Structure 1
Amino acid sequence: MPSSPVPVSLSSRAATAAGFGAIGLWGLLALFTAASGTVPPFQLTAMTFAIGGAIGLAVVAFRPGGIALLAQPPKVWLHGVTGLFGYHALYFTALRFAPAAEANLLNYLWPLLIVVFSALLPGHRLQRHHVIGALLGLAGTVLLIAGRGGLGGSVSGTAAIGYAAALGCAVTWAAYSVTARLLPDVPTEAVAGFCLATAVLALGCHLAVETTVWPSSAGEWLAILALGLGPVGAAFYLWDRGMKRGDIQVLGAASYAAPVISTLALVAFGHAAASLSLGLAVALIVVGSVVAAKEMLRR
């Protein structure tokens, strides 16, 4: 028998709204990254996660329980750090070895996998409209990437490594997101610790394989600060709340809005051009999200 209808509660609606907030912030990731200059990927990860973790730590210090909230069992730290650092390490590997468009498409299987994996959770059941909504979102993402010049060419040996890493991205983030539901007693404040650990690991990778390049202007520093406060900061705290207490299947399907928001933001600020494929992709993803959220909207 399914558990009590948690998604109907006001707290669950607020948590789902928090998840939507995370998706919106991730939609700004590409814009801020483009404005951050030529800082190497792992260095950028270390800098932005350090900002996001430090801000979270400052907030934690004023919460009941304080820094003690970070004292979590090893399995919790393994879950959090594997999700945050593991995903980003695989993503950068994918972009290094495979064409960006195709790698991005495989990476964006994670919303669909969240919808599918959620059916394995206690008290959850995968319904037809969830699958249809997620597939519409996937179709929109394929159209979006294809319209930007991706999807084509042969697969070389090194590209295969990149594709495997991109698929690993999707599986890692979907698994991290869905299994957060199994850790309901772990406070969201603990994410601050996961961010700081990710910053340290990214710094190690940077020192091992990259040459340090510092931002060359105030605008680039502001873009990095914005990344740390939003897409690589607040978004992870909001997502944690959404995954633990919100409607996972709705959030999974709605996550396909992130690449659309990203592209629209790039168009708005002159980093990309508007196109018919973009408009069709937006329509598919919006329809898919509405279909997946049918029950929630009815309530």
Structure 2
Amino acid sequence: MNAALPALATILMWSSLALLTDRISHLPPLLSVGLVLTVCGLAGAVRLRHWKVSPATWLVGVGGIFGYHFLLFAAFGRAPAVEANMIQYLWPLFIVLFTPLFLPGHRLTPGHLLGAALGLAGAGLIVTGGRLGLRMEYLPGYLCALGAAVIWACYSLGTKRLPPFPSSAVGGFCLVSGLLSLALHFATDGPGPAPSSGDWLIVLLLGCGPMGAAFYTWDAAMKRGDPRMIGALAYLTPMLSTLLLVAVNGRPFTVLHGAAVVLVTGGAVVGSLDSLRPLFANLCAGRRRAWAGSSARPRK
């Protein structure tokens, strides 16, 4: 449960990520990413002394955070938000599938492979729109979303292979990633449109919540727990996120999207049954002990 609590806190914060990023998708992706990550990094600078980590840790941290968020914002600017959101949320499934590659001794089972097939079927349903042909006008956005999913899974697992470092160092990763994004934006796009006051409010909300505190709770969860179980829990996020997009932003939610949610979520659960089974066994054992204890008490 030590890992489940920060994981659930992260899930609650990340459920608002797509809703907020969709509202500033009119800004250049590099500008959006740069502003938000810089806000997060500056807020985390109060723990500056914890940023002294190895060069390899900096490389993995900056590469993962910068790469994921740049592709995420690019996806929302090039494809419908609901569809891009569902595709990029393949990363929990990728965490399950990539675990044996990063953590020797964690083998894949037929359940993992079946889960992968279900998840890919759900993503394919979104990409094709239920037709045989791809919706080519949105293909760049779909590829950006898929790339974001792969990068975040590799970053999350890669941190477990690095020498131990404090979660506070994530603030440094964010600040460097944000400044890098802003530098690339001004070098390639020029100044561009100035954010409005409403845009700045969204930037601050993102930098303090789903792209701020959530990084620290996620890092703590990955360090404490089994990544396969955390990957399964993380699939609560796309359901909450998609429902928020539909309810608040008025995005269309069709039967096709509903089927994709079921397939992708079901794939993650099936693919993580082996890691969830011990948790259920412990819960059942605890209930049996409590029942036995209450039955053994003398009745008045």
Residues 137 and 256, structure 1, Cα contact 8 Å, conserved in 2: no
What are the ranges of 5 or more consecutive residues in structure 2 without an aligned counterpart? Answer: 283-300
What's the C-alpha RMSD, in Å, of the aligned pairs? Answer: 3.4
* Counterpart selection for 1:116 from 97, 103, 106: 97
Partner of 1:54: 42
Residue 281 of structure 1, CA deviation = 3.6
1:84 partner amino acid: I
Counterparts of 2:115 and 2:160 in 1: how far apart (Å)? 21
**Offset of 1:288 from its aligned partner?**
4.1
* Cα gap change, 1:242 to 1:164, in 2 (>3 Å): same
Aligned counterpart, 2:209: 230
Question: How far apart are residue 182 of structure 1 and its match?
Answer: 1.5
CA distance in 2, matches of 1:183, 1:141: 31
Confirm or deny: 8 A CA contact 2:45 2:171 kept in the other structure: yes
| 8 Å contact kept, 2:86–2:238 | no
- The aligned residue for residue 206 of structure 1 is 185
Structure 1 residue 109: Cα displacement: 4.0
Contact 2:93 2:268 in 1 (8 A): no
Flag structure 1 segments of 5+ consecutive residues without an equivalent.
Answer: 1-12, 61-66
Call closer, same or farther: CA 1:283–1:107 in 2, change over 3 Å: closer
Select the structure of larger CA radius of gyration: 2
Which of residues 242, 245, 255 in structure 2 aligns to 1:276? 255
**Residues 231 and 135 (structure 1), Cα distance of their counterparts in 2 relative to 1, 3 Å cut:** farther
Question: What do residues 79-114 of structure 1 show as CA deviations (whole Å, max 9, x unaligned)?
Answer: 111111122344456677x75688766644433321
Q: How far does the alpha carbon of each residue in 1:20-76 deviate from its partner, in whole angstroms, 9 at most, with x for none?
A: 332332221121123337332111111111111122223x2xxxxxx3211111111
Equivalent position to 1:193, from 172, 186, 202: 172
What's the counterpart of residue 298 of structure 1? Answer: 281
Count of aligned positions: 275
Q: 2-side partners of 1:192 and 1:150: how far apart?
A: 44
Deviation at 1:148, TM superposition (A): 10
> Kindly tell me: are residues 164 and 144 of structure 1, through their superposed partners in 2, closer, same or farther at Cα, counting changes over 3 Å?
closer
In the TM superposition, 1:172-191 aligns within 5 A as 172-183=151-162, 185-191=164-170
Tell me the residue number matched to 1:24. Answer: 12
* C-alpha contact 1:23 1:255 (8 A) present in aligned 2: yes
TM-score by length of 2: 0.76
Distance 1:183 1:177 in 2: 11
Matched, 1:125 2:113: no
> Does structure 1 retain, via aligned residues, the 8 Å contact 2:38–2:178?
yes
Tell me the CA shift for residue 130 of structure 1.
4.0
Q: State, as a whole percentage, how many aligned pairs show the same letter.
A: 43
Q: CA deviation at 1:16?
A: 3.1
Cα separation, 2, equivalents of 1:189 and 1:198: 15
Q: 1:109 to 1:34 in 2, by over 3 A?
A: closer
Quote the Cα distance in structure 1 between the aligned partners of 2:211 and 2:131. Answer: 27
Partners of 2:153 and 2:268 lie apart in 1 by 17
In the alignment, structure 1 residue 220 sits paired with structure 2 residue 196: no
Superposition pairs of residues 9-88 of structure 1, within 5 angstroms: 13-36=1-24, 38-58=26-46, 60=47, 67-88=48-69
1:245-256 counterparts in 2 under 5 A?
245-256=224-235
CA offset digits 1:242-267 (Å, max 9, x no partner): 22222201222343443332221011
CA drift of 1:226 comes to: 1.1
